[in-house]
Amino acid sequence: MASQRPEKVVSVRDLTKVFNGTIVAVNEISFDVYEKEIFALLGPNGAGKTTTVEIIEGLQDATDGEVFVFGRNTKKGLRDMRARMGVLPQEFEPFDLLKPPEFLEYFARLFGRKMTEGDVDDLLELVGLTERKKSLSVHLSGGEKKRLGIALSLVSNPDLIFLDEPTTGLDAQARRHLWSVISSLRDEGKTIFLTTHYLEEAEVLADRVAIMNRGKLIAMGTPEELIEKVGGTSTLILEGVDTDLAGPIQALGFRTRARKDRIEIRLRSGETVKDILSTLTLQKIHFKDLRTRRPTLEEAFLKLVGARLEGGELIE
């Protein structure tokens, strides 16, 4: 029996957006997002992420190219798809003088959906805002506001959720909490389209990542595929070893680098830690301890884009 291919929830074909006739914000990009995955569009400030997302959401028109959502060309209108799509805009701010339950009820009414008190409670519980039910939005922290924004995007019980930089400006703890909220949504069977400029966020959350820079897509795949693409392989680190042995280890055919009292061996693709260890044992090379270091998406990205990082954020 042929294996069932996952449904394409979003298809973007040769999408281009030019502002004022001169600013090419999005430059002929194509990609697909499949059902029940977390897809992360990753890129530095100004890469074109929000523009791309807003065109898919139907909030901006494309200059050229086509976008399909649930198989429907967005040029034909998204009216009957609206309820299937949830959106957390990059600049989300709740109304100051509404409490979280009131805010959700207000938007539910806009969607023509009646939410019971129980529905509202479940949604607030899901995003971890139960304790803040009685606070005015103006008194919520930045992280709590983002969580309220995510709850809002879920009001219509959508299948496809767009989260534009959901964790920007949040501290590490708030960010991790939101990561668990986002993963639990995927586990419930929702498709998540995430934009971020946090590499760790993409690596932790995303099933597939597309890297965007200056309007172009420069790489796409699972985090592991991207790491492999730039030649990133794991490193085996021998601690407490006589560094004079680096030469002889190299002579055995391994790529080595000596540092203080340790020797690092870069694995080639296909080479396993087990193979290396059995060769070293055979050659009676002694060491006190060993560990392995896996290359990160961050290293792959920096190679691909030639950007640098400040506090985990991308700076071109």
* Interface pick for ligand ATP out of 12, 15, 50, 156 (rule CB under 6 A): 50
* Interface pick for ligand ATP out of 6, 7, 14, 19 (rule CB under 6 A): 19
What is the residue whose two structure tokens read 């298809």?
11
| Nearest distance in Å: CB 249, ligand ATP | 44
Q: In the complex, which residue's CB is closest to Mg ion?
A: 50
Cβ neighbours, 10 Å, residue 113: 14
* Half-sphere exposure in the Cβ direction for 106 (13 Å, CA): 10
Binding partner of 191, given ligand ATP, Mg ion, none, CB within 5-8 angstroms per partner class: none
Q: Are strands 208-213 and 38-42 parallel, antiparallel or unpaired?
A: parallel
Site for ligand ATP in 260-299 (CB under 6 A): none
- DSSP states of 136-173: -GGGS-HHHHHHHHHHHHTTT--SEEEEESTTTT--HH
Q: Is 286 exposed, middle or buried (0-12, 13-18, 19+ CB in 10 A)?
A: exposed
Binding partner of 170, given Mg ion, ligand ATP, none, CB within 5-8 angstroms per partner class: none
* Interface pick for ligand ATP out of 23, 97, 110, 251 (rule CB under 6 A): 23
- The encoded tokens of residue 5 equal 């291919």
d(CA 294, CA 292): 7
Give 146 or 197: the residue with its C-beta nearer to ligand ATP: 197
Site for ligand ATP in 223-262 (CB under 6 A): none
SS3 for 266?
strand
Residue 219 forms beta bridges with which residues? 211
- Binding part of the chain for Mg ion, among 32-40, 46-54, 265-273, 305-313 by CB under 5 A, reads 46-54
Written as one letter, the residue type at 177 is H
Binding partner of 197, given ligand ATP, Mg ion, none, CB within 5-8 angstroms per partner class: ligand ATP
Site for Mg ion in 238-267 (CB under 5 A): none
**For residue 159, which of 7, 3, 49 has the smallest C-alpha distance?**
7
Site for ligand ATP in 51-110 (CB under 6 A): 51, 90
- Binding part of the chain for ligand ATP, among 48-56, 121-129, 175-183, 301-309 by CB under 6 A, reads 48-56
**Using the rule CB under 6 A, is 46 a contact of ligand ATP?**
yes
Give 55 or 245: the residue with its C-beta nearer to Mg ion: 55
- Binding part of the chain for ligand ATP, among 15-23, 199-207, 235-243, 250-258 by CB under 6 A, reads 15-23
| Nearest distance in Å: CB 40, ligand ATP | 13
Cβ neighbours, 10 Å, residue 207: 15
Site string for ligand ATP, 167-206 (x = CB under 6 A): ------------------------------x---------
**For residue 43, which of 186, 166, 212, 176 has the smallest C-alpha distance?**
212
- The encoded tokens of residue 305 equal 């884009």
- The encoded tokens of residue 189 equal 């069977």
Q: Residues in the site for ligand ATP, rule: CB under 6 A?
A: 19-20, 23, 25, 43, 45-51, 90, 197
